[in-house]
Amino acid sequence: MNNPQTRRTFIGHTAIAGAALAAGPLFGAKVPTKGSTLKVALIGCGGRGNGALKDFAAACQILGMESKVVATADAFQNKASATGKNFGVPADKCFGGYDAYQKAIAEDCDFVLMATPPNFRPLHFEAAVEAGKHCFIEKPVAVDPVGARAVIATGEKAKAKGLAVVTGTQRRHSQGYLRNKAMIDAGAIGEIKGGVVQWNGTVPWVRYREDGQSDADYMANNWLNFYELSGDHIVEQHIHNIDVAVWFLGRLPVSALGFGGRARRVSGNQFDFFSVDLDFGDDVHINSQCRQISGTYGRVGEFFTGTEGSTTGGGKLSGKEVDIPDFKQDSDNGQIQEHVDMIRSIMNGEPLNDAKRIADVNLVAIMGRLSAYTGQLVRLADVTTNENSPFFNYSCGDPLDFEKGTVVMPKEEPPIPGEPWEDRRKKK
């Protein structure tokens, strides 16, 4: 599943998928108003997808609106049907299969929520924008450089159509984080000189292969444990903390050098742990650290040291007294607030568009993973502009293979650092 793929090829694929959908409004979906009912479709009916529907409904209630789920879609029909039943969706609007996203997007909806395995998100995002829908996309939005750059391109299309694009990085919508960011910008801790961002926990879940299950269905059902579908946990989970580092420093790192390994995992092909040095230039380094190993000490959060003080991500800050504006949030739950902010931005005629911002952070997490997998220094340019880099056209596979029935599962073995890059790719 590791075939080179250019952005042009990827966009071509997604354009084909988009052409099969009912055409949406040329300049975006209708503008929400107080008292209106917002029609929403869900793609990806797992725990996060169901949670996103509840968050969207709560946001609508805060804004004096109603929400109506008009369609659900999932690779597995039983999941689409179960979610549909919970939200009052007619059975014939609950779509199963790897092409189900096309059917859900073609329904009469204004918003599409995407909570599929991350490898599908660039494809589904492109299709939704082509159909003129406002988009909420769970993080991460891609698993490889090709997909991340495709998301940036699609984000520009969404901007031209007046469509909102918001992603599930709820820390950027949480009061504590917003307050600390404002205080940093006002000089409370001076210039950030270093720090650590961490997500150290356990493997969330494992789903073992069932008798007669195809490669595609096994991988899709057990997606969290295959880097081709999840991006590995440094991308799928730890992106939250990396995003805070990029946000608080106000710039992207210039390179990543890291290591990782696998000792305890019982399924898939991911690492158990990563430790990556993110070099932000100007002698500023952030240690990116994540682990999924049961029975170990857990810590999730961020810490930064500045020339005048220090701060955690959304908690304690020690530094100079500064004046910042008051923050008034509609909800103390960032996962609800991000939907409020999305809907309100459309109402105000200034639709939020997170596509490039989240894709850039996604690329930082991918840099860290690639460095740990290969043992090489990976520069930002290697995944953004340097077409001569072996990492530039790196792809975890074409998501359309799942629709075509051409998926071949890789070995459930982790990458080997130090192994020649091209040799490792040929083995896949």
* Tokens 């969330």 -> residue: 204
The pLDDT of residue 261 is: 97
pTM, entire model: 0.92
CB 267 within 8 A of CB 390: no
Q: Give the pair of three-digit tokens for residue 185.
A: 């910008």
Per-residue pLDDT in tens (0 to 9) along the chain, 428 residues: 344 444 434 444 444 344 334 333 444 567 888 899 999 999 999 999 999 999 999 999 999 999 999 999 999 999 999 999 999 999 999 999 999 999 999 999 999 999 999 999 999 999 999 999 999 999 999 999 999 999 999 999 999 999 999 999 999 999 999 999 999 999 999 999 999 999 999 999 999 999 999 999 999 999 999 999 999 999 999 999 999 999 999 999 999 999 999 999 999 999 999 999 999 999 999 999 999 999 999 999 999 999 999 999 999 999 999 999 887 899 999 999 999 999 999 999 999 999 999 999 999 999 999 999 999 999 999 999 999 999 999 999 999 999 999 999 999 999 999 987 555 555 55
DSSP secondary structure letter of residue 123: H
CB 63 within 8 A of CB 343: yes
CA distance 141 to 158: 15
Q: Tell whether omega for the bond before 4 is within 30 degrees of 0, i.e. cis.
A: no
- Classify the phi-psi angles of 301: left when phi > 0, otherwise alpha if psi is within -120 to 50, otherwise beta: left
Helices (H) and strands (E) in the chain, counts: 16, 14
Q: Which CATH architecture has domain 7-171+334-353?
A: 3-Layer(aba) Sandwich (3.40)
Q: Give the pair of three-digit tokens for residue 352.
A: 């939020």
CA distance 101 to 95: 8
CA distance 368 to 219: 23
Judged on CB neighbours under 10 Å (0-12, 13-18, 19+), 51 is: middle
CB 31 within 8 A of CB 346: yes
The pLDDT of residue 24 is: 39
Radius of gyration over alpha carbons of the chain, in Å?
Answer: 21
Q: Give the pair of three-digit tokens for residue 119.
A: 């490898």
Domain layout of the chain by residue ranges: 7-171+334-353
CB 221 within 8 A of CB 288: no
Alpha-carbon torsion, ordered 115, 119, 123, 124, to 10 deg: -10
The pLDDT of residue 421 is: 58
* Tokens 């955690």 -> residue: 312
Task: Count how many residues are written for the chain.
Answer: 428
208-221 exposure pattern, b = at least 16 Cβ within 10 A, e = fewer: ebeeeeebbbbbbb
